Structure formats: C-alpha cells, structure tokens
Amino acid sequence: MTTTGVQAIIPAFQELKVCAEAHWKGLWKSGRTVITVGTAACGQAAGALEVLQAFRDEVSKLNLDCRVIEVGCMGHCYAEPIVIISKPGYPAICYGHVNPVIAGTLVKEFVAGDNPCLEFVLGALEKNDLIPSLSEFPRAQYEKKLILKNCGHIDPTDIEQYIANGGYLALEKALRMRPEKVIDEVKRSGLRGRGGAGFPTGQKWEICRNSAGKPKYAICNADEGDPGAFMDRSIIESDPHSVLEGMLISAYATGARQGYIYVRAEYPLAVERVQIALRQAKKLGLLGREILGSNFSFDIKLFQGSGAFVCGEETALIASLEGEAGTPHVRPPYPAVSGLFGKPTTINNVKTLTYVRHIINNGAEWFAGIGTKGSRGTAVFALAGKIVNTGLVEVPMGTTLRQVIFEVGSGIPNGKKFKAVQIGGPSGGCLPESALDLPIDFDSLKKAGAMMGSGGMVVLDEDDCMVEIARYFVEFTQRESCGKCTYCRLGTKQMLEILTDITKGRGKLEDIDMLQHLAEGVKAGSLCGLGKTAPNPVLTTLRYFRNEYEAHVREGRCPSLMCPDLIAYYILPHKCERSCDACVGTCSVEAISPDKKRIKVIDQEKCVKCNNCLVACPLQYNAVVKLSPPGKVPTSKK
C-alpha cells in the first residue's frame, strides 16, 4: 500500500465518525425521551410491529417530543416484545411482554406523565435506586457480551448508529496495519471458527493469503439451519454491520476482492437488513472501490440459499454459489486453497466474523484472556426447549452447562426435572445430567460425544423421550441429506427405520446393536460433515440413555410417556367428577363416554391419543393420566 493510501484513511474515517456521532447525539437530545422497540424476528413473532405502531400512534396523538426507533434482539427472547424507554431523569427502563395496550399506557403514564409503570418492568439498564437492574439478575454474573453488545441497543438499519458506537473503527485500524499483521493478531488471539468445527480462524486466513490464484473470495456462512438455533439470524438482524466489518477485515487480510454473504432465504428479515447495510456501507465508501481512500477495494454480494441444510457445509455452499446443486465435495483441497470457482476462498461463520473487530480493537492478548486454554473468547448459545428464559446468551468459554441452563436460563419450567441438553443440533449430541458440570469449550464437548456446533442448545426435561429425540434428528438429517454418498443416503435411512420401529413398539433387542453398528459406520464412512456427524444424536442417546431404548424394546414402555404408540390415556375413576363433561366435549373422535355412574371412560379402540382430554380435565380433578405400556389400562366393564 502506498503511504498516501494510509494517510487518507484517518481523515476519511474521522469525517464519517464526526458525522455519525452528531447524528447519535441528536437522537439523544437533552430533554427528549427515546423509545426503542426490539423488532428482530423473535420480537416480530411476538407482535413487536403492532407495539411499534401503537407507540408511534400514541406519541403523535399526544404530540410528544419523543423518538420511537427499532432495534434488534437483546437476547431476552422469552420476554418479547421488549421495549426500552429512556426518559431524562430516569434510568433507561426495559419493559417485557409489551402489547399495544401496554404501549399506549406507557406513553400516557410514563412518557407524558411521571409513572414508570413498575408492573410492566423487566429491569433497568443501569443500576439505580428505583428499579432492579438487569445487571443484578443472576444471569448477569455469568454473561459477558462481546458480539451481542450492540444487539438490541442500536438501530440495525442505521449505519451511523453503528459507527457512533465504535463501528468500523477496527476496519480503520486494520487498514493501517499490514495484512500479515492482521492475520497474526487473529492467530494470536486463538479465535476458532464458531460454525461448529472450531478450526483456527487466523490459520485459515493465512492459508488463503498464501495460496496462489486470483481473485480471492471471502464468504460469510449465514446458512444457519439447525433446529433450535437462531444466533446467526439474531446477530444479522440486530447488528449487520458488525458482520460486514468482520468480512472487510478478513478480506483485507487474505487479499480477497469479492465477498458473498450466504443467507438462507427463510430469514427474510435478515436478508432485508443485510441489503440495507450493504447499501449504506457502499454509500459511505466503506465498501466498494478504494475503501476509506486506501488501495483496498472489496465488494459484497448477498446470496440467498434455497432451503437446503447441507448448504451450510462449506463445499456444498460453494457449489450452490457457483450455480450447481448444493452437494458437498471431497476435501482436500480445502476452500482456502481452492474454493469458489477454484480460487482461494475463506468461509467464516457469522459469529466468527463478528468477533474480528473486537480482536483488532482490543488486541489479541485481551481476547486470549477470555475463556479457556483451547477455546478463547466467548460462546453464544440459543437457549430453547424446556427452559424458562429462552433466548440468546453469551458467556465466556469454560462456563459450565449447569451455569448456563440453571443460572442464565433459570432452569426448567413447571417444576419438571432436567433430563438432557441437546447441543449442536443434528450434528451434536444429548448430554445427561452427569455432564452438566462440563466446562463449555470445543474439546470437552467433543469428548462427551456432543459438539459445540453452531450454538443451538435445546433443553429436554423428563417428558422428552430420548429415543424419539434421536428419531427426530435422524429424520431431519435423512430429509436434509443430499443423498450423494452411500453411507449418508442409505445409512441414515436404515437408522431412521430402526428408530421409528422402536418408538412404535416394534423394535427388537438386536435392533439396538444394529443401530450402534450403523451409527458408527455412517460416522466413519460418510463423505462430508453432515453425514459424519449425523449419528451423534443416536450415539449419545445410546451411550447415556440406553435404558430408555431397552424399556421401549423389552417392555413396550416409553418411560417419558411420549411415544403415542406406547401409551394409553386413562381416566382415574376415583378422581373423575360426575358432573363434569370437559373431556367428553373436547374429544375429537368421540372416544369418551360416561358410564352408568357418569364416570367417564375412554374407548381405547377409538382413542387417537391427541392429548385433548388431559389438557381439558380441570386441574382440581386431574383425572386423566397417561399409562405405558398401554396394557396397564384396567379392563373396563361397561
């Protein structure tokens, strides 16, 4: 790079920064209240757009000097729609489960009046004497937000808010460093890829930089498809520029000239926000030719995946980008040597790229100081399933599963007992209670039979049948397998057949051994990562919950009372109330009828096990129970 190039960077960026900071200050003009509404996909699903409209209507009706802006997801998805009201004289207050009516009340009572409506409060953003703050929540002592820091606090469709909050500073800094120095910094930080496999990011970049072939490409893999995982979606929806900045720095380091963000089309909001971000970055000269007046030119295109899970595998993703069917290829050569159109290509996960700016800003040593020896930095998890606080969490590597599930996630709802945690989606495994004190990092999870995966964490309680869970995931991988290689195409199908039989009570004891044999074969014999990891849910459930498999096979009993073919619904005569007909009306197949004493009886022949009667039976009677095996139902005399 010429010296003039380097010299131009600082004033060019300074100009952007001054402008952005003025814009940000203008938003928080003294005396004005600012209302932020979380409108990421989780918020929108809970009705955030209606809430947003209600705020706007009410504010304009009362003609208040108040700004209502959209932000992303704060991670407290369980309490969506979430609203933060920052009113001068008060701490910034976060409200959960807001609906349009509450929105109207908040504007009238709090924005226009003086009543902060404590009944709707989730917590304050900073410590104060009035309201408990979010930082006093038990989860706060475990959380450490690096890449989620901006999420839920800035408008993702406004690049100036990002710049005013330290955005693109790392790019400016990187552009003044030599590319080798940038790679060295990332290498020394110990950053490992967050897409699942945990390959050292700096090393990947170095291989790409040193590989012959031009042009080079940088790809951001946002084809997140694991059931129960939504970290990448949330980051893109809430802070898209942090991903762009990471890509820009990676491209500068490797010498790439063209980038692609591969987002699955099922994430329309993420797609929209990336498009807006790309447009804004181009307009400010942060993308395109001679970025910030330097000699570095880089452009990014958005590419929408068409709904194939396997396209999250890097070679399949490249095939898809090239216009071919999304099927994987054998590695080596690795994409860093020969990737898109046969040119050196880096493929990094959304989260990996998002870390980069923090490493450049704060230095490799700072990042390496967080987490464990083999796994530096933080881990982002999407908490889902049977857990009180569903949502996104970011904790330092090395935090235990128990801390994440019981402290950060507040444990299992409805007083149920924890059974297992499914980590890493269809590629991961189910870990039992005995594994709860494992520190979360790449290596210890792998040793336990699961894997970090992209960060989905689905909590299962005593009502979840582990055989059914294994069957669910194998069904998923079989359906999503591209079918190219023998083991994955046919091995997962054979596994699915066996698992289906076991959940339907048709399994034999030798099926369990055959399942183990098949799972080991598919793991060893498959071509790509999808097949190699597809047996993990089966292998871990066999390892930790073999007794459940055996109960299904030997006794025809589902210990969790989940498999419909192995349970029967029964109404306890001594608990059934003669005057109540709740179950009768709710039964869709007219299987319930009263006997002579008006005690309700289920006709087992007719029952389709829809669970309606159990839900309908009033709590004070609680007369409907599930029995397994179905033979336990006493023969009734009509």
Partner 1 sequence: MMKTVSLTIDDKQIETQAGNTLLWAALDNGIYIPNLCSLRHAAAPAASCRLCWVEVEGKAQPVTACTEIAAEGMVANTRGTQALRLARNGFELLMASHPIECARCAALHVCELLKIAGHLNVKLNKNPYRKLVHHLPIDSSNPLFNYDPNKCVVCGRCVSICRERGTGVLGFAHRGFDRRATTFYDELIGDSACEQCGECVRACPSGALTFKVSVNV
Binding residues for partner 1, per CB under 8 A? 308, 325, 327, 329-330, 478-487, 489-494, 497-498, 514, 517-518, 521, 524-527
- C-beta closer to partner 1: residue 490 or 627: 490
- C-beta closer to partner 1: residue 127 or 479: 479
- C-beta closer to partner 1: residue 296 or 487: 487
d(CA 431, CA 40): 30
Q: How far apart are CB 330 and partner 1 at their closest, in Å?
A: 4
Angle at 197 (CA atoms; ends 194, 201), nearest 5 degrees:
55
- C-beta closer to partner 1: residue 287 or 310: 310
Q: How far apart are CB 181 and partner 1 at their closest, in Å?
A: 35
Q: Encoding tokens for residue 163?
A: 């710049």
Q: Encoding tokens for residue 417?
A: 């007992």
d(CA 72, CA 579): 51
Yes or no: say if 126 and 81 are a contact pair by the CB < 8 Å rule.
Answer: no
Helix axes 179-189, 350-362, angle to 10 degrees: 100
| SS3 assignment for 162-187 | HHHCCCCHHHHHHHCCCHHHHHHHHH
Q: How far apart are CB 426 and partner 1 at their closest, in Å?
A: 13
Give residue for tokens 């120095």.
181
- C-beta closer to partner 1: residue 309 or 544: 309
Q: How far apart are CB 469 and partner 1 at their closest, in Å?
A: 20
- C-beta closer to partner 1: residue 152 or 339: 339
Q: Encoding tokens for residue 64?
A: 């208040």
Q: Encoding tokens for residue 378?
A: 């933080």
Dihedrals φ, ψ of 113, to 5°? Answer: -110, -145
Q: Quickly count: other Cβ atoms within 10 Å of residue 462's Cβ.
A: 16
Give residue for tokens 């209600």.
54
- C-beta closer to partner 1: residue 322 or 437: 322
Q: What is the DSSP string of 387-455?
A: -SS-EEEEEETT-BHHIIIIIIS---GGGPPEEEEEESGGGSEEEEGGGTT-B-SHHHHHHTT---TTS
Q: How far apart are CB 479 and partner 1 at their closest, in Å?
A: 6
- C-beta closer to partner 1: residue 21 or 475: 475
d(CA 377, CA 367): 6
d(CA 220, CA 193): 12
Q: How far apart are CB 84 and partner 1 at their closest, in Å?
A: 44
Yes or no: say if 236 and 270 are a contact pair by the CB < 8 Å rule.
Answer: yes
Q: How far apart are CB 271 and partner 1 at their closest, in Å?
A: 23
Q: How far apart are CB 197 and partner 1 at their closest, in Å?
A: 17
- C-beta closer to partner 1: residue 83 or 528: 528
Q: How far apart are CB 327 and partner 1 at their closest, in Å?
A: 8
Q: How far apart are CB 493 and partner 1 at their closest, in Å?
A: 4
- C-beta closer to partner 1: residue 346 or 478: 478
d(CA 298, CA 132): 46
Alpha helices, DSSP H only, in 120-267?
159-164, 169-175, 179-189, 201-210, 231-238, 240-254
Q: How far apart are CB 449 and partner 1 at their closest, in Å?
A: 18
- C-beta closer to partner 1: residue 514 or 614: 514
Q: 489: closest CA among 477, 472, 501?
A: 477
Yes or no: say if 189 and 364 are a contact pair by the CB < 8 Å rule.
Answer: yes
